[in-house]
Homo-oligomer: A and B are copies of this chain.
Amino acid sequence: MKFEIQKEVLIHAVGVVIKAISPKVSVPILSGLKITATSKEIIFVGSNNDISIQKTVPLEKNGDEKAKVHEEGSVVLNAKFLNELVRKVPKDDITFTVEKNNVTKIKSGKSVFSLNGFPAEEYPKLPEIEGEADFTLSAGDLNSIVKQTAFAAATSELRPILTGINLNLKDGLKAIVTDSHRLAIKELKLAGEDRNVTIPAKALIELSKVFEDQEEQVEVILKDTQALFKSHNLLFYSRLLDGNFPQVSKLLPTTFNTTLKVDRKGLSAALNRCALIESKNKVVVLEVKDKQAVLTVSSPEVGQIEEYLEDFEIEGKDIKIAFSYKFTQDALSAFEDEKVQFQFVEALRPFIIKGEKCDSVTQLVLPVRT
């Protein structure tokens, strides 16, 4: 194999597929990414147990030569090393030449790197997925789903299904995430057959980082154990999580006793100050009383913080409720509205946060017993 490639093109391609390579692997070849040069394109593949990514670089784009293949072939090279190297080479073009025993010479200007490579045929194969797209959405919508729900996924593997984002396709798409202490829902208007799958949140977080153009259309093909996201020159495979995602619709209260509409940024800054006190379980107490709304956090060692909210409207009963400022802060990050609305039932029942205008996002937080 021998090819030349432009530095910036290589940096981008390696940067994309490296997201599928785990920093710690037991089999050395899995620390590598596979490069294949053909007469038409150069193909980069990264793979781990959860996701695989294939990024294709055409030799030419809009008449500009991006790469040139002198001899077809393929090799696997250490991804972390290559990723650092390509950012540091002295010149704008780089030549790869595979020599004996997969040793690969990488030349740029007066720098010559000889990397020990691995045989390409020993690299994991990509899943075989074919067929029509189950649905199509824009990269921007995909990013919204991730930004507005992924934080609510469980990080522990106690109940693996809760580490995922549930995609429920039925009269549109509902993305649902819960770690059993909170719940995030994002709804999108989409056409497609009824489907219900759960994709690891980590996989969708990596996927959302790949796109440069938010308008780009992404085709989603769902099979029994795998999902494939296809866009321009990109294939992104993720395994699906096994098991039934909990029925969450019954958790959402429908009648409320107290409504608090409040300036989002002001509340976020106040919660941010509350976080200065490292209280047990990151708990803040909100008291709505006498037309005032006050957040309080206290710790016997450090002291106490009281935040008197500004720019708010209260409807309904007084309430005193304790909750995680961390979860509430996460939930607020899902909104861009100027004002958000908190809807409470009572002190020990979950409450809901909605944007003033955007109604495609619902956040639910469970209170804490103090």
Contacts and interface: CB of A to CB of B under 8 A. Distances in A.
A307 B111 contact: yes
A306 interface: yes
Contact of A84 (B110, B114, B276): B276
A25 interface: no
Contacts of A114: 303-306
Given A78-B302, A103-B303, A273 B112 contact: no
Counted per complex, copies of this chain come to 2
A64 to B, nearest CB: 27
A85 interface: yes
A314 to B, nearest CB: 16
Contact of A306 (B78, B103, B111): B111
A127 interface: no
A329 to B, nearest CB: 13
A90 interface: yes
A115 B81 contact: no
A276 B88 contact: yes
Interface string A57-93: 0000000000000000000001001001100111000
A269 B306 contact: no
Nearest to A108: B273
A30 B292 CA distance: 38
Looking at A103, A112, A309, the one whose CB has the most chain B CB atoms below 10 A away is: A112
B307 A110 contact: yes
A308 interface: yes
A112 B276 contact: no
A110 B302 CA distance: 20
Contacts of A84: 276
A192 B310 CA distance: 60
Interface string A264-277: 00000110110010
B85 A276 contact: yes
Given A85-B273, A111-B270, A116 B303 contact: yes
Contacts of A110: 307-310
A305 B309 CA distance: 60
A301 interface: yes
A256 interface: no
A111 B296 CA distance: 10
Interface in A93-118: 103, 110-116
A88 B273 CA distance: 6
B269 A90 contact: yes
25 contacts: A78-B302, A81-B276, A81-B302, A84-B276, A85-B273, A88-B273, A88-B276, A90-B270, A110-B307, A110-B309, A111-B270, A111-B305, A111-B306, A111-B308, A112-B306, A112-B307, A112-B308, A113-B276, A113-B305, A114-B303, A114-B304, A114-B306, A115-B303, A116-B301, A116-B303
Interface of A: 78, 81, 84-85, 88-90, 103, 110-116, 269-270, 272-273, 276, 301-310
